[in-house]
Amino acid sequence: MLPFLDSLRTLTYDNSMWVALFRLGVAMFCGGCIGLERGRKRRPAGFRTHILVCIGATLAMLISQYMTMMTDNYWAAIYEELAGRPLGNPTDAARLGAQVINGIGFLGAGTIIVTGQQEVKGLTTAAGLWASACMGLCIGAGFVEGAVIGCFLIIVTIIVFTRVERVIMACSRNINLYVEFVNVDDVGSIISTIKAQDIRIFDVEIRKAVGVGANQSAVFCVRLPKRMSHATVMTVLADLEHVRSIEEL
């Protein structure tokens, strides 16, 4: 085990595409493991979001190491020339890049919305923007091989892993149900029906009706028993007389 750990520690950046591929691959795996657990529990930031953020953070560190190596080697003569001039102290080449990483957060925040059903959307888009910004920094710094690998992994995460995430969500025992009903007094019968199916209720958020003729609504966070499908519980609730609509969030 120790020789393996020593070999991992020696994987310092050496301008090698294989090192970048290894690190970004580990980032995809580790971010996916955390996102898988979050996705199964129906949290807003799930499988793909965690992967994109982890890939973006890895790209940011690879850029830092790349620029440090370039400063000590290929850019050393330029820095020495700047240092020899009056008031010509070398500037930090990574300073503008750090501002890009911070500033892109404001753009990403604009893509995140909360729907009327209290469902958070746009987190994956925001994470993709941030990862793309880090990829752009790689290209601007000259670390093209890292940018190409990062671009490929980002595309795989957004396109291919969408299907994987859908399968994970379909098999998840934790679901959020948005239910519209006639009166607030109907909540008791809905809860009784849910518990009668041996379903555990974690949280209930009741919202007041807005506007004339609008229905009351509530969001139920529940955990299904084993081998019960999402369609089964939705069918049971939809058969209730006072339930007007039901939707899985």
Q: What is the CATH number of the domain that holds 180?
A: 3.30.70.60
Q: Are 183 and 206 in contact (CB under 8 A)?
A: no
This prediction has a pTM of 0.66
- Which of 14, 112, 103 lies closest to 62 in space, CA to CA? 14
C-alpha 133/C-alpha 97 separation (Å) is 9
Q: Strand 174-181: give its sheet, edge to edge.
A: 200-207, 216-223, 174-181, 243-248
Same domain, residue pair 40 and 137: yes
Of 3 and 52, the structure prediction assigns the larger pLDDT to 52
Q: What is the pLDDT of residues 126-178, one digit of tens each?
A: 888 888 888 888 887 778 888 888 889 888 888 888 888 788 777 778 888 88
Structural domain that includes position 113: 2-171
- Give the residue carrying structure tokens 């790349």: 66
Q: Are 24 and 149 in contact (CB under 8 A)?
A: yes
Same domain, residue pair 16 and 114: yes
Same domain, residue pair 15 and 82: yes
Q: Is 149 exposed, middle or buried (0-12, 13-18, 19+ CB in 10 A)?
A: buried
Of 146, 171, 196, the position where a domain reaches its end is: 171
C-alpha 150/C-alpha 25 separation (Å) is 9
Of 21 and 43, the structure prediction assigns the larger pLDDT to 21
Beta strands in the chain (DSSP E): 113-114, 120-121, 174-181, 200-207, 216-223, 243-248
Q: Total structural domains in the chain?
A: 2
Same domain, residue pair 50 and 146: yes
Same domain, residue pair 22 and 123: yes
Same domain, residue pair 165 and 223: no
Same domain, residue pair 13 and 129: yes
Of 154, 171, 188, the position where a domain reaches its end is: 171
Same domain, residue pair 167 and 220: no
Same domain, residue pair 35 and 154: yes
Of 129, 151, 171, the position where a domain reaches its end is: 171
Q: What is the pLDDT of residues 61-119, one digit of tens each?
A: 888 777 777 777 766 666 666 555 554 555 565 666 677 777 777 777 777 776 666 66
- Which of 43, 21, 48 lies closest to 149 in space, CA to CA? 21
Same domain, residue pair 58 and 153: yes
C-alpha 48/C-alpha 130 separation (Å) is 13
